[in-house]
Chain A
Amino acid sequence: MKQVLEKLSASFEIEDIVYQRDDLTFLSAKKENLINLITHLRDIEGFSHFVLLSCVDWIEDDKFQLTYFLNKPEEKYDLGIRCMIDRKEASMDSAHHLWKQIATYQREIKEMFGVDFPGSPGVDEPFILEGWDNIPPMRRDFDTKQYSADTFFPRERPKTNDPKEYMKEQMHPGEWGEYRKEKK
C-alpha cells in the first residue's frame, strides 16, 4: 500500500500521512484535488467501498475537516482522506455521483455543520431536524446544554455542593486566600 501512496503523492499533492494501523492510513489532500483523488482511488486503485463521510469542526483554526473514508475490500485496507476547508464560507465540491449514499452524508453535513455541497441532490432540504432556526447544531460554538436549559423547562433540583467549598464553609471560613484578594 505504501507504493500506491507514494505514487499518489506525486500526482495529487497528498501530505500528513499517518499510518494509524496496519490496515488504516490517514492522509490530507487539497480541496481542489480531492474529487479527482477519490475518483482515481475508486476507479484505478480498487477502493470500491465508500465507508463514511464525516466533518470535524476545528473552530480554533477556523477550518472544517471533511474526512472521506474509503475501503478496498480486496486488500482489506482503509484510507481516511482529510480535507481542510475554510469555515467562513464553507463549501465543497459534491461527490454524489461517485457513490449514491454520499448525497445523504452531504445533506446531513449541510444541516448539522452548514457546509454547502452545491449540486448535491436535496442538499438544502431538512434531513433530521424540523423547524430548526438556530446555528447548525454540530458546530462547536453551539452550546447544546444552554439551549436545552433555555428551551425545555428543566425541572428544578437541589443545588449541588462542592465537598471542598462546603467543608470550607463549615470548618474554616474566611481564610487567607479571600483576605488577600480583598486586600488586593
Chain B
Amino acid sequence: MSLKDTLIPFKAWGNLVKKPVTLKDPMREGAPRYRGFHKNDVDTCIGCGSCEAICENEAIVMVPAEGIETKDGDSGLRPLVDYGRCCWCGLCVDVCTTGSLSLSNEHTWICEDPEELKYIPGIDKKPWDEKEEGWKKPVPNYHFYGQERVSMEEMEAEERGDSFIEFVKGYSKEQAQKEADRCVECGICVATCPAHMGIPEYIKAIRNDDIEEGMRVLYETNPLPEICGRICTHKCEDVCSVGHEGDPLSIRWLKRYIADQVPSDKYKEILDTQKIYKGDKKIALIGAGPASLSAAYYLSLLGHNCTIFEKLDKAGGMMRYGIPEYRLPYDQIDKDVKYIESLGTEIIYNTNVDAAKFMELKENYDVVYVGTGLHLGRSTAIPGSDHEHVFQSIDLLREITEGKEIMVPEKVVVIGGGNVAMDITRSIARLQKIKYGKVGVITTSLEKEEVMPADREEVVEAREEGSIINPGWGPKSIEIEDGKIKGLHVVRCLSIFDETGRFNPSLDEDDKNFFEADMIVESIGQGMDISYLPEELKEKIEFGPRGRINVDDYFQTSLDWLFAGGDMIQGPDVIHGIANGHKAAIGIDNFLNKK
C-alpha cells in the first residue's frame, strides 16, 4: 500500500468536468422493437384464440366484442388482455395466425384502480393504437407452426393421364401426423363445415395416433368419411386460420387418412353399433345419394327402419355416377354404403319411383324423404345446341360409370367452369389418351380464370393432363356443317353479373374466337327432376323461388310427412347433403315422436 494507492482514487474528481449523463426529460420512447402495450387490428383478427392458447399466464381471454359479427371464418370474439397477468413476452404476437396482434412501444400506464388495467386492444381505444413502432411478428422464417402443407403423393400427369385409377395416394402415418401438427385447434372451421364436423377433435386424434377415436368423431357427424375425405368441397379449408399466413390445413386429406386406416369389418366394433335398438317406425327414402344415406344412417341410430329406393343398380347417386373414378374409386363408396346397410337400412335397387309408387310409399311408410338430387343437365340453348353430338356432361359421366361406350372424337369442347366441367374434361381427356394417344379437349367458361367456381387444383391438374382450359368466353353458336359439328363460336365475356347482382352476362361482341370441335359437352349446371311427385301433391307443396321446394330448418316440407334434402334443396355439394341428412333425421324423429 503505497502513497499512489492513497492518491489514485482521487482521479474520480475528474468527472466534475465531464458532461452529466442525466436525462433532462426522463420520459423516453421505447426502442422500435420494444414490447409494450398490445394493439390489435380488429378487422384482420379472426378471433381464433391462438393467443389465448399460448399465453402462459392466462392473461388473454376471448370475449365478444362490440361491432364484430360472428360469421364464417370469424368467431366474433376478440382477445381481452389483462395487465394483471401479462408478462410482455410477446408470444401471442408470434403465434397470431393472421398477424393482427402486435405490441406498441408505449410502456407507461399508471392508475389507481387496478380494474382499469384490462382492455380489448383495437376495440377500447388507447393512445398507442396509432403507434407504428413496437414488437411485430419476426420475419422471415420464424414460425411457431408449419406454414407449408405436407404434399400428398400423386401420380405424375403422364402416368395418370390414361387411366381411371385413383391418382392421389393418401397420406402415410408420418405425413398425416406432420400435417395434423400444424393445426392450432381454434375450431373456426367447424361452423363453416355444413355438417359441423368435429374437425379439431379428429385432427387431434391423428396427432395422438388414436385412429379409433378419430373414427368415432367422424361418424358423429358424417357417415360417408371415405367419400368426403376425397371429394368434399372443403369449405373448412377456406376459413382455416392457419391459411391466413401459410397453406391451410388439408383437412380433407386428413379425414381420408383416418377412414383409410380402418378396415370395414372393424367399423361396428369401433363405433359401438353392434347392437342398436330398433323401433317400429318405417321411413322410405328416395334416391341412394348422400342425403338419403346420411339421413338413413342417423335414423337407424335413432332406432327407425329405413328403406332406400334407388333407380339405378348401385348406391351413391351423384357420388358414383357424377364423379369420375380417378377421384373417387367405387370400392370406397361401397365401403361407406356397406356400413350403413349393415345397420339395418335396406336399399332396393332398380326401382323407379313414379307417381303411383310414390303414393304407395306414402301409404306404407310413416315418413317419406326425398333426396333425388339434380340429375337433369341444363342446356345453353344457343343455336345448334339441339344437335345430337351436343351432350350433357352429367349424362356422359353416368354412362362412363355404367361402363357404356361413349362417343370420343379427337376434338371436344366443354362449356362450363365448375367442378363437373373439370370432371368431364379430365374423363374425356383420359379416354382420348387411351384411344388416340393424345388429348384434344378445350374447356371454356363464362367466368374468368380467377373466379372460376372449380377448385384450383382441378384446373391445374386438368392442364397437367393436357387439356386446354380457356376461360372467359361466352358461347354464341355452334357451327354445323353437313350435319356435323365444326366448332363453337364464342365472344369475350366482360362480366357475369350486373350491378344488382343478377345473372346477366355482358359480352364484347367484337372479341371473337372459335374453338374447333367434333363434339360439344355442356356442363353449365343441373336441374332437379321431380316428375315423380303426383300432381295433387305438387299443388299442396310450397315451392320457393327458382322452383325449389320450401323446407323448414329440419327439412320438413309443407306436407308434414314429406321431408326433402340434398342437392335439390341446397345445391350441388356432398357435404351439404350429409348435413341435411342429420338435420332431417332430427326433424323426422321429432315428427315421429309427436305423432
Whether B190 contacts A168 by the Cβ 8 Å rule is yes
Q: Which 5 A-B pairs have the closest CB atoms?
A: A164-B187, A163-B75, A160-B61, A167-B191, A170-B70
A112 to B10, CA, bound (A): 52
Contact of A163 with B301 at beta-carbon distance under 8 Å, contacts A158-B80, A168-B191 already known:
no
Residues of B within 8 A of A167 (CB): 70, 75-76, 187-188, 190-191
Task: From B114, B115, B190, name the one whose CB has the most chain A CB atoms within 10 angstroms.
Answer: B190
Whether B70 contacts A166 by the Cβ 8 Å rule is yes
Whether A177 contacts B220 by the Cβ 8 Å rule is yes
Residues of B within 8 A of A168 (CB): 190-191, 196
Q: Taking beta carbons and an 8 Å cutoff, which residues of B are in contact with A?
A: 47-49, 52, 61-64, 70, 75-77, 80, 82, 84, 114-115, 118, 186-188, 190-191, 196, 198, 200, 220-221, 298, 301-302, 582-583, 585-586, 589
A180 to B582, CA, bound (A): 10
Contact of A159 with B61 at beta-carbon distance under 8 Å, contacts A175-B196, A183-B302 already known:
yes
Residues of A within 8 A of B115 (CB): 155
A179 to B582, CA, bound (A): 10
Write the nearest CB–CB distance from B195 to chain A, whole angstroms.
8
Whether A176 contacts B220 by the Cβ 8 Å rule is yes
Task: From B80, B200, B585, B586, name the one whose CB has the most chain A CB atoms within 10 angstroms.
Answer: B586
A66 to B63, CA, bound (A): 45
| 10 A-B pairs (CB sep. < 8 Å) | A157-B118, A161-B61, A161-B64, A162-B62, A163-B49, A164-B187, A166-B70, A167-B75, A167-B190, A171-B70
Write the nearest CB–CB distance from B123 to chain A, whole angstroms.
13
Whether A166 contacts B75 by the Cβ 8 Å rule is yes
Which of these, A157, A164, A172, A179, contacts B188 with CB under 8 Å?
Answer: A164
Whether A163 contacts B62 by the Cβ 8 Å rule is yes
Write the nearest CB–CB distance from A123 to chain B, whole angstroms.
34
- Across the interface, name the chain B residue whose C-beta is closest to A174: B586
Write the nearest CB–CB distance from B240 to chain A, whole angstroms.
13
- Across the interface, name the chain B residue whose C-beta is closest to A164: B187
Residues of A within 8 A of B200 (CB): 164
- Across the interface, name the chain B residue whose C-beta is closest to A183: B302
- Across the interface, name the chain B residue whose C-beta is closest to A154: B84
Contact of A158 with B75 at beta-carbon distance under 8 Å, contacts A163-B47, A163-B188, A179-B586 already known:
no
Which residues of chain A from 131 to 184 have a CB within 8 Å of any chain B CB? 155, 157-168, 170-172, 175-177, 179-180, 183
Residues of B within 8 A of A157 (CB): 61, 82, 118
Whether B77 contacts A161 by the Cβ 8 Å rule is yes
A5 to B83, CA, bound (A): 53
A158 to B62, CA, bound (A): 9
Whether B190 contacts A176 by the Cβ 8 Å rule is no
7 more A-B residue pairs beyond the given contacts A161-B62, A161-B77, A163-B188, with a C-beta to C-beta distance below 8 A: A158-B80, A162-B62, A163-B49, A163-B62, A166-B77, A175-B221, A176-B583
Residues of A within 8 A of B191 (CB): 164, 167-168, 170-172
- Across the interface, name the chain A residue whose C-beta is closest to B190: A164
A161 to B70, CA, bound (A): 13
Write the nearest CB–CB distance from A53 to chain B, whole angstroms.
28
Write the nearest CB–CB distance from B40 to chain A, whole angstroms.
15
Write the nearest CB–CB distance from A179 to chain B, whole angstroms.
5
Question: What's the dominant secondary structure at chain B's contact region?
Answer: mixed
A44 to B62, CA, bound (A): 61
Residues of A within 8 A of B70 (CB): 166-167, 170-171
A155 to B75, CA, bound (A): 26
Whether A160 contacts B196 by the Cβ 8 Å rule is no
A162 to B220, CA, bound (A): 20
A123 to B187, CA, bound (A): 51
Residues of B within 8 A of A160 (CB): 52, 61-63
Contact of A176 with B75 at beta-carbon distance under 8 Å, contacts A155-B84, A157-B61, A161-B64 already known:
no
A158 to B80, CA, bound (A): 9
- Across the interface, name the chain A residue whose C-beta is closest to B59: A157
Whether B48 contacts A163 by the Cβ 8 Å rule is yes
Whether B221 contacts A176 by the Cβ 8 Å rule is yes
A171 to B215, CA, bound (A): 25
Whether A164 contacts B76 by the Cβ 8 Å rule is no
A162 to B62, CA, bound (A): 7
Residues of A within 8 A of B62 (CB): 160-163, 166
Write the nearest CB–CB distance from A181 to chain B, whole angstroms.
10
Whether B76 contacts A170 by the Cβ 8 Å rule is yes
A166 to B583, CA, bound (A): 20
Whether A166 contacts B61 by the Cβ 8 Å rule is no
Whether B63 contacts A161 by the Cβ 8 Å rule is yes
A157 to B80, CA, bound (A): 10
- Across the interface, name the chain A residue whose C-beta is closest to B189: A164
Write the nearest CB–CB distance from B62 to chain A, whole angstroms.
5
Write the nearest CB–CB distance from A153 to chain B, whole angstroms.
12
Whether B61 contacts A158 by the Cβ 8 Å rule is yes
Contact of A172 with B196 at beta-carbon distance under 8 Å, contacts A160-B61, A160-B62, A167-B187 already known:
yes
- Across the interface, name the chain B residue whose C-beta is closest to A180: B301
A158 to B82, CA, bound (A): 10
Write the nearest CB–CB distance from B267 to chain A, whole angstroms.
17
Which of these, B77, B582, B583, contacts A163 with CB under 8 Å?
Answer: B77
Write the nearest CB–CB distance from A87 to chain B, whole angstroms.
28
A138 to B302, CA, bound (A): 50
Contact of A164 with B114 at beta-carbon distance under 8 Å, contacts A176-B298, A176-B586, A183-B302 already known:
no
A160 to B48, CA, bound (A): 12
Contact of A166 with B76 at beta-carbon distance under 8 Å, contacts A157-B61, A157-B118 already known:
yes
Whether B585 contacts A162 by the Cβ 8 Å rule is no
Residues of A within 8 A of B186 (CB): 163-164
A1 to B585, CA, bound (A): 71
Residues of A within 8 A of B302 (CB): 180, 183
